[in-house]
Amino acid sequence: MKRTILALLVAASFGLAGADTVWAEGEPVCAAPSPLTRAGFPLPLLARSLSDNTPTRIIVLNSATLSKKSTPAATPPAEKDGLPRTFTSFIEEILRSRYPDGKVALSTMNVPRATAETVVERLPEMLEKAKPSLVIWQTGTYDTILGADSRAFADAVEQGVNLAHGAGADVILVGPQYSPRTSFAFDVAPYNNTLRWIARNNEVPFFDRYDIMRFWEQEGIFDFETTPPPPSLFEDVHRCIGRLLVGMITDGVDARTLGSR
């Protein structure tokens, strides 16, 4: 209850944004500073697909997942009744409700433990197969773990953005996760800054997951240090990521410039 009240006060005081404004009792308040959640750039190709009343396909590229012991929010705990939901399921559910005529279908394409360079090698095939209107690309995690060359990382991400645009898809870049247990061991900053720079230069939204999650911890919305983590932590974090990403998507759709791209 304390963290819910705190988050509401912070949201009211500092203009925080979320995809939804009503939360069920016991759910975390999915709030974050507006500069971290606004699209900043339009998503014209997605907007066109949603308005055409034809199936709108979205793919989420998932290139790496840290080990369970590295971060409590990265890997779902085992549950007898099945695994908890991930942010992709929340995105699809909310978008289908918000754009019922858009016939939204979301799929995840996993390239485990892959750098951005490896993902880009396979991207043309994935784009041809899925024919998406939006690509949500989680990247930078495995590059950070490996200490990959930042220039090669930048070139690969920029190439991936261009490939997606050439295939008729908008792009949202999603940065690495934050964990206090690994922040001392891995330097995320060069890769996060690279993603921010590429997003700005290529006019695509950037979902700064690292700074958003760090904000949650600093404001007491989530506790990423408790061992063992609360059973609901994984799904609660993914629910919030999903809601905030939907907010960014909606922001980009509403700011559409149909004549571009």
pLDDT band at 9 (very low <50, low <70, confident <90, very high): very low
- Backbone phi, then psi, for 174, in 5-degree steps? -120, 125
User: Is pLDDT of 67 > 60?
Assistant: no
pLDDT band at 69 (very low <50, low <70, confident <90, very high): very low
What order of strands is seen across the sheet that includes strand 134-138? Answer: 104-110, 56-62, 134-138, 170-174, 206-207
* pLDDT of amino acid 21: 38
Q: Which of 58-67, 71-80, 88-97, 193-202 has the lowest mean pLDDT?
A: 71-80
- Backbone phi, then psi, for 123, in 5-degree steps? -60, -45
Best-predicted range by mean pLDDT (1-5, 19-23, 58-62, 228-232): 58-62
Rounded to a whole number, what is the distance in angstroms from the first to the last CA of the chain? 46
Instruction: Tell me the average pLDDT across 72-88.
Output: 58
User: Is pLDDT of 5 > 80?
Assistant: no
Domains of the chain, CATH where assigned: 2-73+81-254 (3.40.50.1110)
Q: What CA–CA distance (Å, rounded) separates 49 from 30?
A: 28
* pLDDT of amino acid 14: 35
Note the pTM of the prediction, 2 decimals: 0.83
pLDDT, averaged across the chain: 82
User: Is pLDDT of 234 > 70?
Assistant: yes
Instruction: Tell me the average pLDDT across 101-127.
Output: 92
